[in-house]
Structure 1
């Protein structure tokens, strides 16, 4: 996991997209550039080009396909991990769903693995989670709870704070990573409206409100109405005491 402020581009996290399909790469570029705090610094069509671009552009993160015309994305990941290579993270985005490839990605240190096809919210939530991991590392001396979040675990027998659920599954369109992000920012703020939560998390206002209302439904949060001089009262959310 790389750390730091993302180098240039005003502290934005620098992303290199690696996919042999030009149109797919363009879609990924548009999706990434809609997420606050991220910027695309280049694209690569082959494994060899990915290695050269990683060395020249020094991105923080690769969006890396497995199926490339020369080297596989897994081999690109291996070579990047060898001594002397650029310090860069990789998020695998691929149609490959066999167990061997997933294991190789895990062993190679990929920060996440997205199976094509996927929706925009899936990528956004993974990028949000990656940004949060970088923030935790940049803060220095992480606590055990921070380390548990980085490694996707928690205390034995305890529910993960980053993955609230309903009946064993999240409602359609919601993800554990984004739910965890909203929960953490709401806890820090103490109380927030959907608009304020959207600004804190980088999610859209509609998405932020869906997560907040989900928390209310689960009893994790409660709503207070704040009345102004005109118009509808503002819904303000805070986590319940038992959280």
Structure 2
């Protein structure tokens, strides 16, 4: 059974490209496209898609507001934010609003295909429990659904005192987006102090989720650069 996708983007050409990417991905079909928030909400009602590829910046309603409305209405449609918005506040809002993935434009087909695959695995892992059977799922399945596993390592279920899973997920997203990142760059991307950002990055190194290299420049200490494994 294929996963029906509604593509929401106000740029017609971008929406066409994203729709083509979806159609190239086995197990996914585009059921519709929307260029405004109001149109997206109407099509969710009529088409009942399994997944939204949702932009943040729309001409009438923010994609983040759409996500919030869907959750308030109790709609369980999966959401992947696909946007040029890099602000830490927007990323936090998407995370707390229940988006499964957050992908920054522009991107290559492989980037979207990777996120779609993770969504498919999460939805498939819960399929036996659908329909009100009351079937339990184990912790590893729960971790997968809640995004604790990723291509670039995992957010460990137990973090040191003072570190939160939500912020750790933001740090992971920033590291994945940049490929290689410093504590200063992480602090700017996520909205943390440099010292706090470094604590998260060093914890990823300690748990084996990331590796660090020293970049030597001019005078002074070398810069620590972090890359997810």
Structure 1 residue 145 and structure 2 residue 140: aligned?
yes
Secondary structure in 2 matching 1:131: helix
Aligned 8 A contact 1:64 1:93 in 2: yes
TM-score calculated relative to the size of structure 1: 0.58
> What is the aligned length?
150
Q: 1:94 and 1:126 mapped to 2: Cα distance?
A: 14
Could you tell me which residue of structure 1 aligns to residue 116 of structure 2?
Answer: 127
Structure 2 gap ranges (5+): 130-135, 149-154, 160-174, 180-229
Decide whether aligned partners of structure 1 residues 99 and 155 sit closer, same or farther in structure 2, where only a CA change above 3 A counts. closer
For 2:43 and 2:81, locate their aligned partners in 1 and report how far apart those are by CA, in whole Å: 17
* Cα separation, 1, equivalents of 2:60 and 2:39: 10
Is 1:58–2:48 an aligned residue pair?
yes
C-alpha RMSD of matched pairs (Å) = 2.1
3-state SS in 2 of match to 1:103: helix
- TM-score of the pair, normalised by structure 2: 0.61
Query: What are the equivalent positions in structure 2 for 1:90-239 lying under 5 Å apart?
Result: 90-140=79-129, 141-151=136-146, 152=148, 153-154=155-156, 156=158
Residue 154 of structure 1 deviates from its aligned partner by: 4.5
CA distance in 2 between partners of 1:28 and 1:82 (Å): 27
Structure 1 unaligned regions, length at least 5: 1-10, 158-168, 174-243
Helix, strand or coil at the partner of 1:20: coil
**CA-to-aligned-CA distance 1:42-84 (integer Å, 9 cap, x gap):** 000000000001101000100000010001101111111113x
Q: Is the 8 A contact 2:123 2:145 kept in 1?
A: no
Task: Indicate how the Cα distance of structure 1 residues 101 and 143 shifts in structure 2: closer, same or farther if over 3 A, else same.
Answer: same
Residue 125 of structure 1: CA displacement? Answer: 0.5
Distance in 2 separating the partners of 1:69 and 1:146? 38
Q: Is the 8 A contact 2:6 2:30 kept in 1?
A: yes
Q: Offset at 1:26?
A: 0.5
1:73 corresponds to which residue? 63
Aligned to 1:194: none
Cα contact 1:145–1:154 (8 A) shared by 2: no
CA shift for structure 1 position 86: 3.8
Query: Contact 1:54 / 1:86 at 8 angstroms: preserved in 2?
Result: no
Aligned pair 1:87/2:82, yes or no? no
